[in-house]
Structure 1
Amino acid sequence: APRFAILDPAYTMSVPKMQVISGAFDTLSHAMETYFGNSDQDNVSDDVALSIMRNTVVNMRRLLKNIDDIQVRGNLMWDSAMAENGILKVGRVTDFQAHQLEHQLGAYTDCNHGQGLAVIHPAYYRHIVKDAKEKFERFAKVVFGKDTAEAGVEALADFIKECGLPAKMGELKSKTEITPELLRNVADTCNVIKCNPRELSRDEIYEILMECM
């Protein structure tokens, strides 16, 4: 396995805007799913994760205004490295249920990974927001400047639309038609994470996926 990586945003300048935005949303997703795991509230990893989330959102907005800004691309590259180099996960459990749903959705379709996550996250968080109220309140305040947990989830949904990312299954570019039957298969075969704020039943997972239709 690689021991280190040399990060140079110059090599990303030819990557189209929507692909960068989609990849950056995956960065945001990794930070969110690390943060919302069942770990104690007062730890430095949570503070760092929130900072990465906030910075990713800020720079995604900057990228929408100027796709050729190499500083913004560099910021997003560093956000990505910090979100997934393992530092945030030290000594804690994580909630990667949304990733598990998207991985299985991707196995049945050819949808873009980051865009699939953008569709799934808001619906999933609407189901678990009451099970991790304090963490969602901090997320809402730090990342989106909102006062309540629920407002933070809706701000995330609005941000997804602001970025031009898909908000519903029908907006995903997939050669395979996404039907209720396909989503039932996703729900029945995906991994179910046990260390998220609340373990989901497969029926609730199907309900979440159907809310994304």
Structure 2
Amino acid sequence: MNNFIYGNTTKVYFGKGGVKEYLCCLLKNVGDTVMLAYGGGSIKKNGIYDEVTAILQKAGKTVVDFPGIMPNPTYAKVQEGAKRVHENHVDFILAVGGGSVIDCCKIVSAQAKSAEDIWEMETVKRDFPTDFIPMGAIVTAAGTGSEMNNGAVITNEAQKIKCGLMGAQAQFVFLDPSYTMSVPFKQVISGAFDTLSHGMETYFGKPYDNNLSDDINEAVMRSVIRNIRILLRDHENYDARSELMWASSMAENGILKIGKITDFQCHQIEHQLGAYTDCNHGQGLAVIHPVLYRHIYKNGVERFVRFAENVWGIKEKKTAEKTALAGVEALATFIEEIGLPTSFMQMGIPTDTNFRAVADSTNITAGCCKKLTHDEIYEILQECI
């Protein structure tokens, strides 16, 4: 295994009722003014907003609302949030929602403490912030794993770039599976597939020799597959939702990445697709993954064989290549089984989308078993239509 340094500063409160039991106590350690950040307003319909607001008021906090964070948070929204922090002298940010809300708040937290433009600072100067407005998170939609790391995916609409930035990391996070019950079921499955994608994107990264990180990853991927299938039969199964919620965190809290150079080529392609189309992230990954893997599996046969055998339970075929391909096809079949789209057309992405521009602007990753060209990425996108 490669050398590594590991640490995680986020304290997790997992399970039903955690917010009511612990949040008020945690708020004693933060400043007087709390910015409550959320998305389109679903937390007002399902009662979570009233619950959290009451706790904040009981703790004597001045509450500043920051609503309307979109599914693919924009850099303009980040700037709006940072301005609100300054205008209201916010001491603490509480993100309530899924990965998009948490991601936006991470960069708001950084921008609010810096006089520089964070986008230019990170993407051009390659300089990263070290000072942040402290924040916490209450997760209401699982999948991204954003709650236990400092990475954030932000779309710069002016530049048509969707990419990762580094921001604050939540001091504490609440993972209550019951909060996911009101999320539209298609989004639950889309989020769960995002978790599976995170597992695969790490698993197919280098090195390929046997290591503990990959052993754990195989267990996480099998758990995600198993519990998605349980939810398809029983949408409100609390145990399955709890397993998926923790799997989401496990896939992105750094444990599976210990000693690894990750792949994430599929994510890079989907991010740029999202920059041009504002498409659903999990659905985009579902369409791209099998097509991408059919292009590259011969360059990482041994790893794809292990994936086929240890994740999908496929018995050895006549050749290693056939076993490897069987694992890719098992993934493709699973995507159909769980009702996710298998083409851009099914996602409603227009056929006249500038896929050439999407391909040419896609970041090429170091961890992929085959270093793709922009022309090959364009071919993959064409096959996904």
- TM-score band, normalised by shorter chain: over 0.9
Structure 1: give runs of 5+ residues left out of the alignment: none
Partner of 1:45: 213
Partner SS for 1:81: helix
**TM-score normalized by structure 2?**
0.53
Distance across 2 between alignment mates of 1:41 and 1:63: 34
Amino acid at match of 1:191: N
Distance across 2 between alignment mates of 1:63 and 1:135: 29
- 2:213–2:259 CA contact under 8 A, matched in 1: no
Partner of 1:64: 232
Question: What displacement does 1:73 show?
Answer: 0.5
Question: What displacement does 1:81 show?
Answer: 0.8
- 1:129–1:136 CA contact under 8 A, matched in 2: yes
Question: What displacement does 1:157 show?
Answer: 0.3
Correspondence for 2:377 among 198, 205, 211? 205
Partner of 2:119: none
4+ residue stretches of structure 1 with deviation over 3 A?
none
Partner SS for 1:105: helix
Correspondence for 1:13 among 177, 181, 188? 181
Partner of 1:195: 367
* Aligned: 1:106 with 2:274: yes
Distance across 2 between alignment mates of 1:131 and 1:48: 24
Distance across 2 between alignment mates of 1:55 and 1:138: 17
Change (3 A) 1:136 1:145: same
- 1:97–1:193 CA contact under 8 A, matched in 2: yes
Partner of 1:2: 170
Partner SS for 2:183: coil
Which stretch has the larger CA shift, 25-34 or 125-134? Answer: 125-134
* Aligned: 1:168 with 2:343: yes
Structure 2: give runs of 5+ residues left out of the alignment: 1-168, 316-322
Question: What displacement does 1:57 show?
Answer: 0.5
Partner SS for 2:236: coil
Partner of 1:185: 357
**TM-score normalized by structure 1?**
0.95
Which stretch has the larger CA shift, 88-97 or 1-10? Answer: 1-10
* Aligned: 1:130 with 2:298: yes
Aligned residues: 210
Change (3 A) 1:126 1:2: same
Distance across 2 between alignment mates of 1:173 and 1:24: 21
Q: Deviations over 1:120-147 (max 9, x none)?
A: 0000000111111111111111221113
Partner of 1:27: 195
What is the aligned-residue RMSD (CA, Å)? 1.1
- 1:98–1:117 CA contact under 8 A, matched in 2: yes
Partner SS for 1:144: coil
Partner of 2:152: none
Instruction: Pick the structure with more helix per residue.
Output: 1
Correspondence for 2:329 among 131, 150, 154? 154
